Amino acid sequence: MHKAENQVENVWTIDEWAALERRTRLRALRAGSEVGAWRELVKQARRVMRAYTTSFFIVSRFLPPAKCAQVEAIYAAVRYPDEVVDSFPLSPAEQTQLIDRWEANYELGLNTRSITEALQSEVPCFLASFTQVVRDSGIPAEHYRAFLNAMRRDITPSPFQTLDHLIDDYIYGSAVVVGFFLTHVYGSRTEADFGRALDSARSLGIALQLTNFLRDVAEDQQRGRVYLPQEMLFDAGVEELKAHDESQQQALAKVLRQLARVAENYYASASAGLDAFSPDCRLAIQACIKVYGRLNERIAQSTHGTNHRESVPLREKFQALPASKYWRIPLAYLVR
Domains and CATH numbers, the chain: 1-140 (no CATH), 157-312 (1.10.600.10)
Q: Specify the DSSP class assigned to residue 10.
A: T
Rounded Cα distance between 167 and 174, Å, is 9
Q: Report the pLDDT value the prediction gives residue 322, as an integer from 0 to 100.
A: 60
Residues 6+ apart with CB under 8 A from 168: none
Q: Show the low-confidence residues of the chain (pLDDT under 50).
A: 1-8, 325-336
Nearest CA-CA partner of 3 in 296, 208, 262: 208
Q: Report the pLDDT value the prediction gives residue 331, as an integer from 0 to 100.
A: 43
Q: Report the pLDDT value the prediction gives residue 318, as an integer from 0 to 100.
A: 58
Q: Report the pLDDT value the prediction gives residue 319, as an integer from 0 to 100.
A: 64
Residues in the chain: 336
- Encode 67-78: b = buried (16+ Cβ within 10 Å), e = exposed: bbbbbbbbbbbb
Q: Report the pLDDT value the prediction gives residue 328, as an integer from 0 to 100.
A: 45
Q: Is 235 left (phi over 0), alpha (psi -120 to 50) or beta?
A: alpha
Q: Report the pLDDT value the prediction gives residue 62, as an integer from 0 to 100.
A: 86
For the chain, give percent helix, strand, coil, nearest 5. Answer: 75, 0, 25
